[in-house]
């Protein structure tokens, strides 16, 4: 238990440091890309090292084989899911493109999101979800990790309860991706692709953050909060929630077919312990 808590504290600190350092490089696309990639790689290496040294286990959820393909597929899927969210919003008149933004800004956001997606998925799926699942089974672990993931984003806007609920749906999706593959590459890719499309391509704020978005386009969402997500951004749109929930359902079906759903561990019998 102590080692688990220590591991969580390590990566909470890593999360804070990574976001601070990479955000500080937002004025340079090249520097942001370099630092973002370096932060992502170092986070994975640190996770593998702590797994061996602190937990005394092999980090099978960060396999070397196929890592690039799985991450790339996840990234493309994340971009596609966000585009699928924006299209119905546009059909109902809640989205328009006001002009071009910045190509350099797009690359800067990609660098930042590489780091953010990696460290958050390691923290919430690789550590928190996995440790809770060992004690309570897959379903409770999914609920716990997704809920805490959503509550974390209230830091951006403490009043955005609807936004936090929407992020819980997104956290359920990446947790389901982890269960389906038993690896971190697909959830990292989904997280990266979604955030990059939101901020880097469409140029809108990510998860209620008030940072000025300078993506490739200058997207404008305007209309009822249920349609557009309101002040939190399109992640809180009903269409974003639906996209995440449908994907979660699909991935959990894949996980069930593969036998990756794990039951709650039965309580140990004190008499057996004495024996």
Q: Are 202 and 219 in contact (CB under 8 A)?
A: yes
Residue at 103 is within a domain:
yes
CA angle 229, 202, 118 (to 5 degrees): 85
Whole domain around residue 183: which residue ranges?
A: 2-263
- pLDDT confidence of residue 141: 97
Residue at 275 is within a domain:
no
Residue at 82 is within a domain:
yes
- pLDDT confidence of residue 264: 85
- pLDDT confidence of residue 148: 93
Q: How far is Cα 32 from Cα 23, in angstroms, rounded to an integer?
A: 8
Confidence bin at 275 (pLDDT 50/70/90):
very low
Q: At what angle do helices 67-91 and 185-195 cross, to 10 degrees?
A: 40
Residue at 272 is within a domain:
no
- pLDDT confidence of residue 21: 87
Q: Whats the size of the chain, residue-wise?
A: 275
Average pLDDT over the chain, rounded to an integer:
90
Confidence bin at 24 (pLDDT 50/70/90):
confident
Classified as helix, coil or strand, 271 is: helix
Query: pLDDT by residue (tens digit) across 143-158?
Result: 999 999 988 877 766 5
Is the pLDDT confidence value at 271 over 60? no
Is the pLDDT confidence value at 248 over 70? yes
Q: At what angle do helices 2-24 and 103-121 cross, to 10 degrees?
A: 170
Nearest CA to 177 among 140, 125, 139, 133?
125
Residue with tokens 């269960």: 179
- Domains held by the chain: number: 1
Confidence bin at 134 (pLDDT 50/70/90):
very high
Residue at 225 is within a domain:
yes
Instruction: Calculate mean pLDDT across residues 209-235.
Output: 83
Query: pLDDT by residue (tens digit) across 70-83?
Result: 999 999 999 999 99
Nearest CA to 240 among 95, 141, 112?
95
Residue with tokens 């393909």: 69
Confidence bin at 270 (pLDDT 50/70/90):
very low
Nearest CA to 246 among 169, 136, 193, 189?
169
Q: How far is Cα 99 from Cα 31, in angstroms, rounded to an integer?
A: 26
Residue at 273 is within a domain:
no
Model-level pTM? 0.92
Nearest CA to 188 among 68, 9, 53?
68
- pLDDT confidence of residue 206: 80
Residue at 269 is within a domain:
no
C-alpha dist (Å) from residue 178 to 113, 172, 233: 19, 10, 26
Residue at 18 is within a domain:
yes
Q: Which residues of 151-168 are buried (b: 16+ CB within 10 A; e: fewer)?
A: ebbbebbeebebbbebbb
Q: Find the DSSP H helices in the chain.
A: 2-24, 29-53, 67-91, 103-121, 130-136, 138-152, 161-181, 185-195, 225-228, 238-257, 270-274
């Amino acid at each position: 238990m102590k080692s688990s808590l220590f591991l969580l504290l390590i990566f909470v600190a890593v999360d804070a440091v990574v976001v601070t350092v990479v955000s500080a490089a937002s004025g340079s696309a090249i520097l942001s890309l370099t630092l973002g990639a370096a932060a992502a790689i170092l986070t994975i290496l640190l996770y593998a090292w702590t797994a061996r040294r602190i937990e005394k286990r092999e980090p099978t959820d960060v396999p070397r084989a196929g890592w690039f393909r799985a991450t790339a597929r996840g990234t493309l899927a994340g971009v596609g899911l966000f585009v699928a969210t924006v299209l119905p919003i546009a059909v109902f008149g809640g989205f328009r493109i006001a002009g071009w933004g910045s190509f350099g800004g797009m690359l800067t956001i990609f660098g930042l999101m590489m780091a953010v997606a990696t460290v958050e998925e390691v923290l919430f799926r690789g550590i928190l979800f996995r440790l809770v699942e060992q004690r309570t089974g897959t379903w409770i672990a999914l609920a716990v990790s997704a809920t805490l993931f959503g509550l974390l984003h209230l830091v951006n806007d403490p009043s955005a309860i609807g936004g936090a609920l929407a992020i819980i749906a997104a956290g359920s999706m990446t947790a389901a991706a982890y269960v389906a593959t038993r690896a971190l590459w697909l959830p990292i890719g989904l997280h990266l692709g979604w955030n990059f499309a939101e901020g880097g391509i469409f140029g809108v704020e990510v998860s209620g953050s008030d940072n000025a978005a300078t993506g490739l386009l200058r997207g404008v969402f305007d209309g009822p909060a249920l349609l557009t997500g309101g002040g939190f951004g399109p992640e809180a749109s009903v269409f974003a929630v639906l996209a995440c929930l449908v994907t979660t359902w699909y991935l959990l079906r894949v996980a069930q077919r593969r036998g990756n759903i794990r039951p709650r561990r039965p309580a140990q019998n004190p008499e057996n312990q004495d024996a």
